[in-house]
Amino acid sequence: MNDGLYLPLLAALAFCQHLSQREARDVSGLLLNAVVTSLACLVSLLLGSMMLTLVAVPHSMLLTLLVHTGCPLLLFALLQRYAAPQINWLGLRWYWLLLDTLLLALPLFWPDKADHALRLSLHILLAPLLLGLLLAQFATLTQRLARCNLPARLHGQPALLACALLLALALHSLGVHLS
């Protein structure tokens, strides 16, 4: 899988997720949401990977998709059952958790390297952390942009979009070097 195309997708996902949540949340709430989302995705990816290693049948793309679709939904159902007020206050939504986990699990569908086990282990640990950092970046970006002397037409969403494009280009460059 080409990391130069994959890493900008994470920036786009974090940008879309931020736009859907920023009106109703303050910066500290958005930062907590970034941490919770990152940890929930990490737990979901770890559960899915453990379930796939416990299955004795050869892994197919359909089985991997089913496991990595079921794990975030199961995790969210458990969190909703045992910690519903906290989950609602933190702004964790099942559809974002599912979309985040499926996008983060995308490289697991293409085992194309000889160092497959090490690469997947690093990916499972680092991809949710990168998503959490991107969400935290967008959470604090609005305040930082407000302190800048930007032209009037670059205030608000146009400035956020420009920053998202710059982040996507930087992640593309990083991904090209990693591939």
pLDDT digits (tens, 9 = 90+) for 89-106: 888 899 999 999 988 888
pTM, to two decimals: 0.81
Helix then strand count (H, E) for the chain reads: 6, 0
Least confident stretch, 40-44, 49-53, 56-60, 79-83: 56-60
141 vs 47, more confident: 47
Question: So what's the pLDDT on residue 80?
Answer: 93
Q: Are 65 and 109 in contact (CB under 8 A)?
A: yes
Alpha carbons within 13 A on the beta-carbon side of 58? 2
pLDDT digits (tens, 9 = 90+) for 111-166: 655 456 666 677 778 888 888 888 888 888 877 877 777 777 777 777 778 888 88
- Dig out the tokens for 10 from the structure: 């994470």
Is the pLDDT reported for residue 74 higher than 80? yes
Query: With bands split at pLDDT 50, 70 and 90, how would you rate the model's confidence at 17?
Result: confident
Is the pLDDT reported for residue 72 higher than 90? yes
Is the pLDDT reported for residue 179 higher than 70? no
Instruction: Tell me which residue has tokens 């959470």.
Output: 139
Region 51-63: mean pLDDT is 77
163 vs 85, more confident: 85
- Ranked by mean pLDDT, the top range of 27-31, 83-87, 157-161 is 83-87
- Dig out the tokens for 110 from the structure: 């293409």
Task: Enumerate long-range contacts of 89-96, CB under 8 Å, 24 or more apart.
Answer: 90/29, 90/32, 90/33, 90/36, 91/21, 91/24, 91/25, 91/29, 91/30, 91/33, 92/33, 92/36, 92/37, 92/40, 96/17, 96/20, 96/37
Instruction: Tell me which residue has tokens 């079921």.
Output: 70
